Structure formats: C-alpha cells, structure tokens
A and B are shown apart, each in its own frame.
Chain A
Amino acid sequence: MLVKDHIRRNIITLPDTADFRQALETMVEHKTNGLIVVDSEMKPVGAIDSFLLIRTMVPDYLRLDPSLAQFEPEGVFYKLVSSALNKPVKEIMQELHGVRVKENDPMILAATLAAKHSYRYIPVCDDDDKLVGLVSRTDIKRAMAELLNINDTPKT
C-alpha cells in the first residue's frame, strides 16, 4: 500500500506570511482543524492546528496555574484573543523539520511519521519538494480499515 493510494489532493494551505487571524479564518472557512504552512514556492515549512492557536491565545501565567482561570472576569477571553490576532503564523506553527513523504513511498512511512510527530497532516511532495497532497490521520485510519476489510456500512 502506497501513499498515493490514500492521498488527498484538495489541499488547503496557509502562506507562511499569514497571521493568527488568517489561520483561524481559513480553518473555520474550510471546516478543518489543521493546515500545512507553505512558502512562496509551495514548499511545506510548518504545520498549524487548532491546538496551537489555543495555546498561543492562553498566556503563560494561566497555563502555569490553570485553576486561576476560573477567577478571570468576563472580557478577558476576548482581550486574549484580540491580542493574539496579529501574531505571525511563523511564530505559532510547528516546524516540519523535513517531515514529508512522496507519492510512491509506502503508507507505513506516512503512518510512522504521524505516530512520531503530532502533525494532523503529513505533507506529500513531488521531486521538487512542492506540495501535491496530504495524508491525514483520517486517511491513515481508512487505510487501516481497508487492510482489515472494515467498511462503513453499519453492522446488523
């Protein structure tokens, strides 16, 4: 089983010049919790997801002592989100550090990378390192099901 058997090609990306607001907008618009960040040549440079947006918004002092958050007055949530809006995606994203697969790589490589790192999507690149598709956790789950002949019709 190869990556190309389970690749998704309708890729939604975020330019590496984007900020927190654009990341949030793109995720909401496309109903996804994760995005691959690409440079101007469509080479993948990072991954961003809803967890990273949340972690950016919640300041250190609350993470140091989560129980304090219950005492925060109304309006603090808005204030925190507002002050995160202009943060560059480059400061929020997880760097990919060269994590990517090619279409002809075995599916187990994509699965291994997904197990080793917490990225929601593993980028699939061509020989020029340009992004051509993604393998998501869902895609890997489907691949496992396919191997076991599990289909999505409910059991009777």
Chain B
Amino acid sequence: MQFALAVFIFVIAYAVIVSERIHQTTIAIAGGVLMVVLGVINQEMAFAAIDWNTIGLLIGMMVIVLITKKTGLFQYVAIRAAKVAKGDPIRIMIYLALLTGFFSALLDNVTTILLIAPVTFVIADNLKINPLPIIIAEIIFSNVGGTATLIGGPPNILIGSAAGLTFVDFLLNLAPIALIISLPSLLIIWLFFRNQLKTTEELKNSIMRFDASTSITDVALLRKSLFVLAVTMIGFLVHASLGLEPATVALFGAGLLLVITNTHPEEVLKEVEWTTIIFFSGLFILVAGIEHVGLIDMMAEKVLHFTAGSMTATTLTILWASAVFSAFIDNIPFVATMIPLVQDLGRSGLDINPLWWALALGGQIGGNATLIGSANNLVAAGLTEKAGYKLGFKEYMIVGSSVTFVCMLISTVYVWLRYL
C-alpha cells in the first residue's frame, strides 16, 4: 500500500512538473508533504532527506553573484570581448560563446544568460545583424560551461554533494571534456550561421566607440567582490584538504562579502531565488519517498538486468539515457532521481565514479538539444522574444540537437577511453 502511494505521488508530481501546468515549486511542496501526510515517510525522515549541502551552496553562490553582478563586472568583460573582436560578428560570436562558457562554469546558467544576453542584443543592434546566432551559441555554451565545475549548475551540485566529489574532482574529470567539445560545438554553430553574420566596416567601428568602463558602476564594490570571488574560488580548490564542504565555502564567501560591503541583508536576501530553494527541498522529499519504499532499488535492478551488470554498458546507458531525458525534461528532477539509483548501482559492486561523470555529462549536454531542455534555454528564448526576435522551438532544435549529438559522441569516446 505504501509502495503504491509513494509511486502514485511521485509519478503524478513528476508528470505535472514536466507538463508545467502548475508551478514546479507548488508541486514539490504538495508532493513532498503528501509523502509525509499519507505516511510513506515521517517528518523526521523527510527533513533528513533535504540535502543541506546543496541548499547552502545554492544560497551562498546566489548571494555572492547577486552582489557581484551589481558592479557591472560581467558587462564590462563582455563589452571588452566585443572590442577585442574588433566588431567582427563571427569573432564576437566566438568570444561571447567562450565567455558565456567561462561565466557559466562559475555562476549558474540562468544568471549567466541574464548577464550576457542584454549585451548581445545591443551589439547586434549596432552591427545591424540578427542576434539569434549569437544567442544560440550562448545558450549552448552556458550548458557546456556549466558541465565543467561543481558549481556550474544544479545537477553538478546535486551529484557532487551526494557523491562527496570535490571541486577539484569535477575540474579534473569534467573540465577537460567541456573544453574538448567546445571546438566542434563552435564549428557546427559557425557552419549553420556563417552567412548571417555579416556587417559593414563602418558598423564594426560603432562597436569600438563603446566605453566598457562606463559599465562599472561601483569601483569599491567591484574590488571587494573580486577579492571575495578569489577567496571563494581558492576555497573551492582546497575545500577537501581543509575538510570543508562546498556549502561552507560558498556561505563563507557570502558572509564575508555581506560583512565587508556592509550590504543590508534584506536587500540581497529578498532576491535569492527562494522558489528554487523550496523546489529542491520538496524534490529531495519526493525522491526520499520512493527510495524508502524500494522503488529506486527495483529500478536499479532493472538497469543492471538490462546491462547484464557490465560496467561499460551501464555507464554508457546512463550517459545516453541522461542526455535523452534531459533534452525534454528539466534535468534537475531527473538527476535528483538518478542519484540514489546510481548509489544503488555502486552498492552492487560497480565502480561508481564513471557512473557519476556519465550522469553529469549526459544531464548537462542533453539540455542543449531542445529549447525546453534547460531553464536557461527558456530564459534566453523569453528575452529574445521580448527584444523583438523569435527563437522558435524547431529553429533552435536543428542547431541544438546537432551540437548535442556530436558532443555526445565525443563524450562517449571520452568516457570510454578514460574510465572503461
């Protein structure tokens, strides 16, 4: 009975989250609470299921980014990039894509898009070109860059926290492949759009009159933010040897920045995405419910049966299944569900590490295939529409899925050579 209840709540909640008929946070709260009300798990178990390391890391990074983005640092760098590109549209696309990848490795992907897309529209207006090719390149690289680090995106944060993988682990295992797939991704985007990215010499010069320094709104705040960003990054690099969890590092950075800038906490905390934080909390409880009744065990057995317990088959199945799922549903609930499953597979005697990297890689890269594959894709599409351009589902998918397919082939070879 409990089993049926848990599966019922989970499946309905999942279906509604995917259908986007009701806000995902509402469903996560309702579903999570139902797990407790209907006696699948008790409240103590539900609260214990919330991964505070993930929650703390998310909040800490949000606070740091909220304060830092006020300085205009990111716009400054983007405008500089356009000037270094001497106003040439193709070079601008390449530089902004790479910059998006870099920012996205350090910030969450949605924030990165919200910072880089506005600059892109203004540049495109000046060059009198269609901004869509550059926006598409940025979407793709926000997901590619997000793959590279522990803090690059929620799926990685979830995996890192559950598996006890460090910032350096992510850097050593995922940053190389993120770099490797950057080149073919750029090449494919270039092949699609090379004829659209043309402008005149005169218009190129209009980019050169941009004064990037006017983007910097507050030099003192910028210095402090850069200092705290550096401290936090160093903290991430050495967190394991200091015996500190990533959440502690992020919250330390957030606390330090609040103290030295004497920012009123209310001003920052009201902008923290509490809806997202609550969504994660509910999701943890939902997953704990089906884990408790043994559904995850059953699913893990099915996977092992399907792959006949072979390490290679299991790893590649996870890699590709993650990509396919993430192309059509939000990768956060998917990864949250897969985590206990992978842990189960690890208990069956398989080497668990390659499975984690396969899950992270597939989940992030798959998000590039369609416009609905990742939250940042949709945010970019929304901004584009409001700017007077239409980024259609099909139009994006032709480029996005081509890039994803090639990236997945390369990732398969990478995983194969490195781990199998």
Interface SS, A side? helix
User: Closest residue of chain A to B118, judged by CB?
Assistant: A61
Kindly state the separation between the CA atoms of A77 and B386 in the bound complex, as whole angstroms. Answer: 14
Which residues of B are found within 8 Å of A76, using beta-carbon distances?
Answer: 125
User: Does A112 make an interface contact (CB < 8 A)?
Assistant: no
User: Closest residue of chain B to A64, judged by CB?
Assistant: B118
A-B interface, 8 closest residue pairs, ranked by CB to CB distance from nearest: A61-B118, A60-B386, A65-B118, A83-B388, A59-B386, A59-B387, A68-B122, A61-B121
Query: 1/0 contact trace for A54-92 toward B, CB 8 Å?
Result: 000001111011011111110010011001000000000
With contacts A64-B114, A67-B214 known, is A72 near B387, CB below 8 A? no
CB atoms of A70 and B214 under 8 A apart:
yes
Taking the closest CB of chain A, its distance from the CB of B112, in whole angstroms, is 13
Which residues of A are found within 8 Å of B193, using beta-carbon distances?
Answer: none
CB atoms of B117 and A72 under 8 A apart:
no
Which residues of B are found within 8 Å of A59, using beta-carbon distances?
Answer: 121, 383, 386-388
User: Closest residue of chain B to A80, judged by CB?
Assistant: B388
User: Does B309 make an interface contact (CB < 8 A)?
Assistant: no
User: Does B119 make an interface contact (CB < 8 A)?
Assistant: yes
With contacts A65-B75, A70-B214 known, is A79 near B118, CB below 8 A? no
User: Does B227 make an interface contact (CB < 8 A)?
Assistant: no
Chain B 361-393 interface residues, beta-carbon cutoff 8 Å to A:
382-383, 386-388
Which residues of B are found within 8 Å of A71, using beta-carbon distances?
Answer: 79, 122, 126, 210
CB atoms of B125 and A72 under 8 A apart:
yes
User: Closest residue of chain B to A79, judged by CB?
Assistant: B388
With contacts A61-B383, A65-B75 known, is A72 near B122, CB below 8 A? yes
User: Does B255 make an interface contact (CB < 8 A)?
Assistant: no
Taking the closest CB of chain A, its distance from the CB of B409, in whole angstroms, is 35
Kindly state the separation between the CA atoms of A73 and B217 in the bound complex, as whole angstroms. Answer: 22
Taking the closest CB of chain A, its distance from the CB of B206, in whole angstroms, is 6
Which residues of A are found within 8 Å of B215, using beta-carbon distances?
Answer: 67-68
Kindly state the separation between the CA atoms of A73 and B125 in the bound complex, as whole angstroms. Answer: 7
Query: 1/0 contact trace for B210-239 toward A, CB 8 Å?
Result: 100011010000000000000000000000
Which residues of B are found within 8 Å of A80, using beta-carbon distances?
Answer: 388
12 example contacts (A-B, Cβ-Cβ < 8 A) are as follows: A60-B387, A61-B117, A61-B121, A61-B122, A61-B386, A62-B122, A64-B114, A64-B118, A67-B217, A68-B122, A71-B122, A73-B125
Taking the closest CB of chain A, its distance from the CB of B213, in whole angstroms, is 11
CB atoms of A73 and B118 under 8 A apart:
no
User: Closest residue of chain A to B128, judged by CB?
Assistant: A73
Taking the closest CB of chain A, its distance from the CB of B121, in whole angstroms, is 5
Known: A67-B215, A76-B125. 10 other contacts (CB 8 A): A59-B387, A60-B383, A61-B383, A62-B122, A64-B118, A65-B118, A65-B119, A72-B122, A73-B126, A79-B388
Residues in chain B within 8 A of chain A (CB atoms): 72, 75, 79, 114-115, 117-119, 121-122, 125-126, 206, 210, 214-215, 217, 382-383, 386-388
Which residues of B are found within 8 Å of A64, using beta-carbon distances?
Answer: 114, 118, 383
Kindly state the separation between the CA atoms of A69 and B210 in the bound complex, as whole angstroms. Answer: 11
Taking the closest CB of chain A, its distance from the CB of B208, in whole angstroms, is 11
Kindly state the separation between the CA atoms of A65 and B115 in the bound complex, as whole angstroms. Answer: 8
Taking the closest CB of chain A, its distance from the CB of B70, in whole angstroms, is 11
Taking the closest CB of chain A, its distance from the CB of B391, in whole angstroms, is 13
Which residues of B are found within 8 Å of A83, using beta-carbon distances?
Answer: 388
Which residues of A are found within 8 Å of B214, using beta-carbon distances?
Answer: 67, 70
User: Closest residue of chain A to B212, judged by CB?
Assistant: A71
Most buried by A among B114, B125, B206, B217: B125
Taking the closest CB of chain B, its distance from the CB of A98, in whole angstroms, is 25
Taking the closest CB of chain B, its distance from the CB of A7, in whole angstroms, is 39
Kindly state the separation between the CA atoms of A67 and B214 in the bound complex, as whole angstroms. Answer: 8
Kindly state the separation between the CA atoms of A79 and B125 in the bound complex, as whole angstroms. Answer: 10
Which residues of B are found within 8 Å of A68, using beta-carbon distances?
Answer: 75, 118-119, 122, 215
Which residues of A are found within 8 Å of B75, using beta-carbon distances?
Answer: 65, 67-68
Which residues of B are found within 8 Å of A70, using beta-carbon distances?
Answer: 214
User: Closest residue of chain B to A58, judged by CB?
Assistant: B386
User: Closest residue of chain A to B69, judged by CB?
Assistant: A65
User: Closest residue of chain A to B387, judged by CB?
Assistant: A59
With contacts A61-B118, A61-B121, A65-B119 known, is A73 near B206, CB below 8 A? yes
Kindly state the separation between the CA atoms of A79 and B117 in the bound complex, as whole angstroms. Answer: 19
Which residues of B are found within 8 Å of A61, using beta-carbon distances?
Answer: 117-118, 121-122, 383, 386-387
Taking the closest CB of chain A, its distance from the CB of B387, in whole angstroms, is 5
Most buried by A among B206, B217, B388: B388
Taking the closest CB of chain A, its distance from the CB of B214, in whole angstroms, is 6
